[in-house]
Each structure stands twice: as structure tokens, then as C-alpha cells.
Structure 1
């Protein structure tokens, strides 16, 4: 059995065909074993961690294209993890849009009894927006517009498919040297009609990008949640640091209101919860900050769009379509290049009390779309 080492360059090693004769090879990538079909050739290099998995790159020797492969370890340990894996696969196989990452393969293990990890193969993107913002790469207003437009164009498509992303943040926005951007990581996404079936242990939206209605415990989710997150990302592109970054999650609402000001009574009647209303009222009335002063490097139209995104009341928040038509993006906006999803997606499995094993069977069936014949 041959062994190949590339620890200095890619922190990767390969163990040939693992001595099983099933057409798979083991690759050690930053301490994580990837069991991949032989068509995914070396060098296999680490990329990083996704929301709930480890990611490496490889070359598909059949197509000669570089791909990203996410390994979800122990995905069937509980219902929440299992549904996250199934949800992302089903969503991305349903979608087809240039601003949404695409799935190339869902690797089927050589034995169903050995199905203890899920490998999803995506188109390759070299970086995420988080790393760009942490780097010394200079960004100008044209970059902000370009990235923002692609996020909103992708969201228009996603929302038209009856889907909310619910975890938009720079780490989940993949980019390349041409400034192409793709929305990724759909493990927390929900169909709009299925949000009421979320389990108590499931958390949506990373705190720094969480809308006020989520902080205050509303159970009714709308597309406005994603718009709030986009506003936070827009501001972060300009500031090169998260807009809201509390030391404790309990401070997040106060920090938000210190920027956008305390809501008036009319902007609070959507809360419909005495506890939520009390949480807002317990904070001393806070004045709204001047956004132009807070974002001196942002153009006036950019400031106006940001203000319309960061609105306390989700009913008054700008919509994705309105944002695409805003003067800040007018030179990019074109309805002909902003398609909607051809058919809304619905998840019957979200409404059922399925066991981990039952969800595992559904994921297995998804792999059969790529591997319909028995593996010899």
C-alpha cells in the first residue's frame, strides 16, 4: 500500500486505496480523515471549517476541475444534525443560480453499513468574505456595490423559492479573485412555510447578524431577517469589523438600539409579547445615531440603503427587491439578470417526527442520484 506525504505544502497525506479494493482512498487533511472516491485526486488540501463540517479541496480527475469537499462527521448522532445535512443537500440540488453555491456530488460510501459521515462536493471558491475583510486587501465603494448586489440577487432567487437562509455572514459568502460571490452553508435554512417546526435546540443566525425580532424571541420568521443580516454585512465591509460585536449575547439588543435608536410605540406592536416589549422598555430611551457620522467612508446612497436595512420593525425594513432597485445599486440592477426560482421548494420531512435512522435513509437516497449503480 503506497503512502504519499504533502505535510509541508498542504498538510495532507494519502493512503492509496486503503487495501479494500473498493475504489476509495483515505486522505489525512489537517488531522481529519477524508474517505473519497479515487477520482478525487491528490493534492487534497485543507480549506477550513464550515458551519458544521471540515472542508478540503481536490481535483476531479474525470472533469479536471477543482472542487471543495465538506465532510460532516457523525451527522446522524441526533435529529438536528441529521436534518441539517439533509436540508442543505435538498436545497442546493433544487437551486440553480450563479450567486448560490452548487453541489457537484454527494459521495456514497462503498457500504451502506459504513454510512457514518456525509461528504458533499461543491464548486470550488478560494476564499470567503470573512478572510477578505480580515486581510490587507484594499476595498473600495465599487467592491461594496459588487458584493452587495450579488448577495441581494442571490437572496431574491432564494426567497422566491420559499426559502430563508437564516445564517448569512461573511464566512458563508464565498468569493474569488474576480469578485464573484456565492452564498453557501444552508444547514440552518428553512422553507418559509416550515419555520414553525423548528426544534428548540436549533439556533438560527450567528449573534452578530441576528435581527431584533430573533433576539426578542419571535417565532414568525420572514425574509426581513435575511435583509437585516445583509445590512450588518454591508456595514462590516466598510468598517472591516463586525458592526455589532457584544461581549455577552445579552448585550446585543442594547448595542443595536444604541445605533438605530429606541423604537417608537408603533414599531413595537408587531412583538405581541409582553416579555419582549418589557425587554425593550427596560432599556433607557436611546437616541438614533447619525449614520453619516458613523460611516464617513460610505457614499450618501450607501448610507441611505444601510439605514433602510437596519430598521427595528421588520415590516418597515426594505425588501430585497426594493434594495436591488435602490439608487446605490442602480447601475448594476437589471431584472433580466435577476431570475427567480422556477418552483418553490417544500420539505415534507420537516413536518414529520422522523428518527435519525429514517433521516439517514433519506440522505442515502440523495447519494443515489449521483451513484445509481452498485459500487463494485
Structure 2
């Protein structure tokens, strides 16, 4: 046995361990410490936790197990409130915006309107732009953005549901106007995915007032659970539900004129849509076409800087530079998608309908470019498309992104000097067979 300075023997490490085992046998934990914050936000790690509480090394192993159990308990996501709990909470205290929104410098939402009698409507989404994007678009100083209340809207029916959110048809109880409300699914941990909401709303705000892009009305919040929604104008069915026949060359030109103007506005505002397809084009009264679903849109990055997403755009409308795995791209990916939409209008079916993989689409795109440049075989099924129209189609479906037509260049082509034909009445007024599905997802 080793001896200390006083000459007295001191216990070895093995003896000290036996003493601890006798004092704290298996299954018995040290009495819990009284921490000043039961939610443990200040705990950064188990090691820091022990040091911050000043725990003696003798009891630290036991206490670590106890904190593990507590952490597992608090990591469980809270269950959504029941309608009865919501009604009780309204009678006890006024509702306020969650602390997570206040941390972003946002003002509290508008006062909660009295809920309609009966069951509480399902969560509706309203959109909002980020404070920075809104200030830049309006040329004003940055100010806190004030959310509206989702309880100002009455849910009518669900229009679409996907991986990232749900879109509802709703009525504004203040004005009686019909709107489309998008709810974006929470991110990891159950918290609202505010960056996704701000990114989409900021892109919509930058294009405010353009007739070929769906318009955002406001961003609303649910004061109970913190969900954030994007409220937009209700336009009508998707173009995909109207593609029951091939369009004539003049009808295609009228449609492409609207879509190219919308793309010109998007790209002029520094935004890349990255998911243009017939499902994301809405048909309004009189054949007005509007580009929607900016959930995948991003501000154009500096040249040469890759985007973080590995896969964007639908397979049949994905540009060759995306099919090759590249992540350095720009607005040219939207122009390729518009070329695919133009072909689909002329033919009545998707250009790469039978393709199942990226290699299939890329192989067929190369064959198509060769056929368009060397012969006229690629246009045999398009007898009504003039030579000027073929030039526009070649420019949009060019494999090299640097040689692909921009929206402004396409609109300046001589093909658009010709007279447009009004869109078919069936396209404008036929009842939607798909239940007016609007794909904002």
C-alpha cells in the first residue's frame, strides 16, 4: 500500500473502485442534481456538463447515465396539440408567436381571429419573403416582417400533397377572395423550415407584379404551433391537365411568349427556377399562363460556385449539365426545360416520355441535337412549325449551356414577330379532370 506525506496508507485505485460500488450499487443512481434550467439549453456536451456542474470525479460516471436518460426523454418530439387543448389554451391566455420566430427579428403575428364554430381547419400555409429579400426588392431599409394569421383563411379543399408540403384552396374570411395556401413540412426536429419559406417567398417577392408568375399575397403563421404558410393567388388548373392534344404553331407561340416573359423576369431578378415543367405552369382565365412552385428556386450564385443540391428538376426536363452530375449551372437549365415544354405543346406528349434514367435522357438528347443540326428528320412530326420556330427550338434544346438561347434572346427572335393565335377555348374553360390540382409541391 502506498503512503502519503503523513505516513498514512492510502487506498489503491482498485480499493477506491470497490468502495464506490458498495456505496452506489448497480441500479441505484446518485440523487439528482437541481439544475437551474430543466430544458438544459446550456449543456454543450456530457464532458462540459460535468465540469459546469462541478461534479466530483467519483460520481460522474453515475451521473452521466442519469443525464443520458434525461436527454433521451427531452429529445422526444412533442405531440401536436389536440383541438380540445387548443380551445382551452385560447380561453386561458393570449397566443403569441413562437420564440423561434422572434429570434429571427420578426414582429409578432397579427391578433388571432375568432375561430369559426366547429372543428379547427387543417393547417394552411402562407408565404413570406425574407426581410433581406423584401427590402432589396422594394429598395427600402430592412425592417421586421409582420406575419399574418393563418386563421384569417378558411380551408375549402386540398389541391395537392407531396414530399415537401401541402397546398390548399382557401377563402380569405376578410374579403371572400379565393386563394391558394401552401404549408411547407417541418424540417428536422419538427421545427418550421423557415429558410425554405424565406427562400421561396423572397423569389416570389422579387417577381411581384409580373403577369406570367403566380403572385404572393402574404406570409402567415399559426400562432399555436409556429407553422408558417405562403398565401398566393388562386389561378386554376395546371397546364399538364390541359395537354390532351397537340397545339398548333401559332398556339404554341402564344404560350411560349408568356412563359419566356416569365423566365425573363425570374432571371432578371437573379433567380433560377430549376423545376419548370407543365405541372408547375397554371392556366388562368383567358388562357393566361403563370409559372408557379418556386420551392426549388434559388438566387443565382457566383459563376463557378457549385450549388449544394445534388439533384434538381424533374427527370424529363432536366438539362444535360444536370444529367452529367454538374452542380455549376445557371439560368440555362430553365431554358432547356422550356424547350422541353415547347416540344410537348407541339407534340402533345413529353419529349423524353419513355426515359427511365439520366443516361437514357442524356443519350436521347444527344441524338436529338444531331438530328436537328444535320437533317430535318427531327421536325417531321411538326409540319405546322415554321422555320423560324424550328430555330427557336434548336436554340432552347442546345446541349451546350453557353450556346443555349436566353429568355431575352428567344423573345427577340423573328418567330415572335408573327401573329399569335388565341389559345383553344378547351384549354381556357374546360373543367379540370384532375380536380384543379395545383402542383406547388
Q: TM-score, normalised by structure 1?
A: 0.67
Contact 1:126 1:174 in 2 (8 A): yes
Contact 1:231 1:310 in 2 (8 A): yes
C-alpha change, 1:168 and 1:332, in structure 2 (3 Å) is farther
SS at match of 1:318: coil
Cα distance between partner residues in 1 of 2:250 and 2:84: 47
Residue 181 (structure 2) pairs with residue 48 (structure 1): no
1:32-43 correspondence to structure 2 within 5 Å = 34=124, 37-41=150-154
Unpaired runs of at least 5, structure 1: 1-14, 265-286, 334-376
1:199-348 correspondence to structure 2 within 5 Å = 199-200=308-309, 202-245=310-353, 246-261=355-370, 290-331=377-418
Cα distance between partner residues in 2 of 1:262 and 1:296: 16
Residue 300 (structure 2) pairs with residue 192 (structure 1): yes
SS at match of 1:295: coil
C-alpha change, 1:124 and 1:51, in structure 2 (3 Å) is farther
C-alpha change, 1:86 and 1:300, in structure 2 (3 Å) is same
C-alpha change, 1:34 and 1:189, in structure 2 (3 Å) is closer
Of residues 64, 67, 80 in structure 1, which corresponds to 2:176? Answer: 64
Larger Rg: 2
C-alpha change, 1:169 and 1:77, in structure 2 (3 Å) is farther
Contact 1:104 1:123 in 2 (8 A): yes
User: May I ask how many residue pairs the two structures share in their alignment?
Assistant: 287
Report what 1:364 is aligned to: none
Of residues 202, 212, 231 in structure 2, which corresponds to 1:99? Answer: 212
C-alpha change, 1:207 and 1:63, in structure 2 (3 Å) is same
Cα distance between partner residues in 2 of 1:80 and 1:252: 36
C-alpha change, 1:155 and 1:56, in structure 2 (3 Å) is same
Cα distance between partner residues in 1 of 2:192 and 2:152: 31
C-alpha change, 1:120 and 1:263, in structure 2 (3 Å) is same
1:120-135 correspondence to structure 2 within 5 Å = 120-133=230-243, 135=244
Report what 1:87 is aligned to: 199
Contact 2:220 2:231 in 1 (8 A): yes
Is the deviation greater in 90-99 or in 233-242? 90-99
Report what 2:186 is aligned to: 74
Quote how far apart the aligned CAs of 1:288 are.
6.3
Question: What is the CA deviation profile of residues 111-162 of structure 1, one whole-angstrom value per residue up to 9, with x for unaligned ones?
Answer: 4xx22x33211011111111111x46x7443331222111111111111111
Higher RCO structure, 1 or 2 (CA under 8 Å, sep 6+): 1
Cα distance between partner residues in 2 of 1:203 and 1:225: 13
Contact 1:88 1:186 in 2 (8 A): yes
Contact 1:75 1:85 in 2 (8 A): no
C-alpha change, 1:61 and 1:302, in structure 2 (3 Å) is same
Q: TM-score, normalised by structure 2?
A: 0.58
Residue 251 (structure 2) pairs with residue 143 (structure 1): yes
Cα distance between partner residues in 2 of 1:197 and 1:292: 36
Contact 2:372 2:394 in 1 (8 A): no
Quote how far apart the aligned CAs of 1:80 are.
12
Quote how far apart the aligned CAs of 1:203 are.
2.2
Quote how far apart the aligned CAs of 1:91 are.
1.4
Contact 1:168 1:209 in 2 (8 A): yes
